Structure 1
């Protein structure tokens, strides 16, 4: 083989090697971005579900409040419950918007990290507010909830009211903390790990 032929063969081999390396790099990036997006599917779907559920509850409790407006206690209970539900609806919509705004395939790694960090910070802020407000929400909810759902005056039965309050708090906190941990915090951590791995890969190039 002459020198020119050898150089041509080597150039062709080098070109194919570079093409393979570029293909592998693009494949690695796509796999990491696919995994990142897939991790955030669960909290995104949960927030979408929460938006519809909250709207349904708001309409139900607003109409129930109007129906029992002649009873001062039920009126206050209904108004407070509706306001809490509106607050929770706002949180769900805002989290949903932040998650939907993350453009995994047309953003730089830095932009992805910033978007994820912004969503993460809002999640923990809203989480603290929800955890703190849940006992007050439960207190507000029980009178109008019992009357609207079961036509039952729970305030006339202090023991049942206390039992319902304790059970509501225990079950509510247990479910909420499980959702926070498994459907949010773990998913956010996994997504952040995938993006950080992609960032380290780009820095090493």
Structure 2
């Protein structure tokens, strides 16, 4: 009888520990997912805006390319349109990777790993996005200046140099702003990395 009581008490202790461990894990998962999803949604929304703008810029490029089909402006316009479509498709695919995951049904560890994969894709696309945007502005600006300001930047080398100089200065400021945005991204993704490390440590206990 005494042995049976000891077994019962021992089993109750084990069950209590397992239950507490499960509760602690669920609480940790809930807090982790809420914190992570809040941070990632801000990044995702910003990326969605960039994705939509890439599609809009592509449409503008192709439309202007067909309007000025008989001029030398059409070639860079069509090229920039193709590049913007490439940019749009890349970001659309990356965004879907996060949008399609159900973080309530997905193991928290897998969700955090997917978020970090999303980070890698964003940073991989950073340089190409910048170059494509620079090319697009370079293709569109001369057309705008000629038909709105009545100035042809290609009519002499001096005008062309001024035009390129202004573009470089503008994109230096854009680069500074972009780096600031990605620095903020880095802080949020570092938080995700820390959360993943906490989960891994928790699973070892």
Corresponding residue for 2:194?
193
Cα distance in 1 between the residues matched to 2:149 and 2:35? 45
Q: CA deviation at 1:97?
A: 1.5
1:56-96 per-position Cα deviation (integer Å, ceiling 9, x unaligned): 22222221111111111x11121122122112212221221
Corresponding residue for 1:174?
176
- Asked if 1:48 is matched to 2:63, the reply is no
Q: Does structure 2 retain, via aligned residues, the 8 Å contact 1:35–1:194?
A: no
- Asked if 1:85 is matched to 2:87, the reply is no
Residues 36-185 of structure 1: matches in 2 within 5 Å?
36-72=36-72, 74-133=73-132, 135-147=134-146, 152-156=151-155, 157-182=159-184, 184-185=185-186
- Which 4+ runs in 1 deviate beyond 6 A? 7-18
Q: CA deviation at 1:12?
A: 8.1
TM-score normalised by structure 2 residue count: 0.77
TM-score normalised by structure 1 residue count: 0.77
Cα distance in 2 between the residues matched to 1:131 and 1:52? 16
Q: Does structure 2 retain, via aligned residues, the 8 Å contact 1:112–1:195?
A: no
Q: Does structure 1 retain, via aligned residues, the 8 Å contact 2:61–2:81?
A: yes
Structure 2: 5+ residue stretches without partners: 1-6
1:165-205 per-position Cα deviation (integer Å, ceiling 9, x unaligned): 123321221222222221x322222122212212211221x
State the SS of the aligned residue for 2:154.
helix
1:21-78 per-position Cα deviation (integer Å, ceiling 9, x unaligned): 5434321221011111111111110122222222222222221111111111x11121
Cα distance in 2 between the residues matched to 1:151 and 1:80? 24
Tell me whether 134-143 or 28-37 shows the greater mean CA deviation: 134-143
Tell me whether 36-45 or 90-99 shows the greater mean CA deviation: 90-99
**Matched residue count:** 199
